[in-house]
């Protein structure tokens, strides 16, 4: 498959082996290409015009791999619904890091490619419906200018997967700037070894934030950059009424991407307490209106993980305060832009939110219709 234009440079494997396990995707009997994202392939500098559909299916099922790919599953930890646990890629395997003709670096990763050492008893497989669902939503988020992982291909692999009932199995190929998470730093912190944390921090800065590599206290500058990206990301979610549904720290990208499309949804009838995650129905931890607070909570966990690298611990509280300020500012700016205001009006926004909630207004339709209104004349505003 070298003719398609793959160019791998797998720098993640230069980290300690505690962060990953090299492993090949489990073979599948009868792969069939369901969809290929041709525009994304072009962006990546890949050309499959001379590759048969059968060979494409073999590639995107993992039965055949590019020669320079070095497949591996990542190890990480994380807080799931507030409870800390050891995790890792239970059904995902990275091909490696593909370098585009414009010298951009992207992870290519299978989802649903079979068990790994981190599967915790799972089969490592996925079903066709959710993989197509992620394909659609990630490309929709890209079109909405919301930072996100993307989807390159989906194949039906010819085996049935049991999820309450027997369903067709599938594999998604996901594309991301990287799959480094807050949970990756939490995993490093578990080793209680400053050199391990420092190595991950240096790697993350070199890959995602090279502009801060010469700073004296790189840990604090990385924290600042992550705060800015995460505040921007969750504000994007709030402006379109998107609910991630499972904002665990292992699903929080260090690069500020929307990652792991599981029980996501969009607000229809406006309700800040709504969540698409049925397993969260009692606590509502990841409800729509709580997302900015959860981002702050997750950032605090990142702060804890990198704190051994910070000599002046008192400054960490200042960073949390600055994260709160950044989130509030992004939130206010969002409302100013959505309503076309000159400045933020807290009383107006509060009244609007209460009315939308009381009348169960469809959020998307409301702002769509609002944008279609022409500027009223003064006489129209005068009492009858």
Which residues are known to be catalytic? 250
Q: Which two tokens stand for residue 58?
A: 């073999």
Is the Cβ–Cβ distance between 139 and 100 less than 8 Å? no
Closest to 187 in 3D by CA, of 13, 10, 319, 20: 20
CA 72, 75, 177, 206 torsion: positive or negative?
Answer: negative
Task: Select from 377, 373, 365 the least CA-distant residue to 340.
Answer: 373
Encoding tokens for residue 54? 């059968």
Distances (CA, A) of 196 to 137, 205, 360: 35, 14, 50
Question: What is the greatest pairwise CA distance in the chain?
Answer: 77
**Which pair of tokens denotes residue 273?**
């307490």
CA-to-CA separations, 183 to 84, 114, 345, in angstroms, rounded:
10, 22, 37
Tell me the C-alpha to C-alpha distance, in Å, between residue 77 and each of 101, 187, 296, 334, 349: 34, 5, 18, 32, 38
- CA-nearest of 76, 52, 75, 74 to 64 is 52
């Amino acid at each position: 498959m070298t003719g398609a234009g793959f160019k791998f440079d797998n720098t993640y494997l230069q980290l300690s082996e505690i962060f990953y396990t090299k492993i090949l995707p489990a073979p599948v009997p009868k792969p069939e290409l369901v969809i290929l994202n041709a525009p994304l392939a072009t962006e990546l500098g890949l050309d499959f015009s001379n590759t048969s559909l059968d060979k494409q299916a073999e590639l995107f099922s993992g039965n055949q791999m590019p020669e320079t790919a070095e497949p591996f599953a990542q190890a990480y930890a994380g807080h799931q619904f507030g409870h800390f646990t050891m995790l890792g890629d239970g059904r995902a395997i990275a091909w490696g890091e593909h370098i585009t003709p414009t010298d951009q670096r992207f992870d290519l990763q299978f989802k649903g490619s079979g068990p790994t050492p981190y599967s915790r008893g799972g089969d490592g497989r996925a079903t066709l419906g959710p993989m197509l669902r992620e394909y659609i939503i990630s490309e929709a988020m890209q079109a909405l200018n919301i930072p996100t992982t993307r989807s390159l291909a989906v194949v039906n692999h010819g085996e049935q997967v049991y999820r309450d009932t027997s369903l067709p199995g599938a594999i998604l190929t996901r594309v991301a700037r990287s799959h480094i998470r807050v949970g990756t730093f939490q995993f490093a912190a578990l080793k209680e070894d400053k050199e391990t944390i420092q190595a991950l921090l240096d790697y993350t800065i070199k890959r995602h934030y090279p502009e801060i590599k010469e700073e004296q206290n790189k840990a604090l500058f990385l924290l600042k950059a992550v705060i800015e990206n995460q505040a921007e990301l969750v504000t994007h979610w709030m402006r379109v009424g998107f609910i991630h549904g499972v904002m665990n720290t292992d699903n929080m990208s260090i690069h500020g991407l929307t990652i792991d499309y599981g029980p996501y949804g969009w607000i229809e009838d406006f309700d800040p307490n709504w969540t698409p995650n049925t397993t969260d129905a009692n606590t509502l931890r990841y409800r729509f209106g709580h997302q900015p607070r959860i981002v702050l909570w997750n950032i605090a966990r990142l702060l804890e993980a990198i704190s051994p690298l910070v000599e002046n611990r008192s400054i960490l509280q200042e960073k949390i305060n600055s994260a709160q300020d950044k989130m509030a500012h992004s939130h206010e700016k969002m409302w100013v832009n959505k309503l076309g205001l000159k400045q933020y009006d807290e009383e107006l926004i509060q009244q609007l939110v209460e009315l939308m909630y009381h009348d169960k207004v469809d959020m998307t339709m409301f702002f769509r219709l609002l944008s279609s209104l022409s500027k009223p004349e003064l006489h129209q505003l005068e009492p009858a």
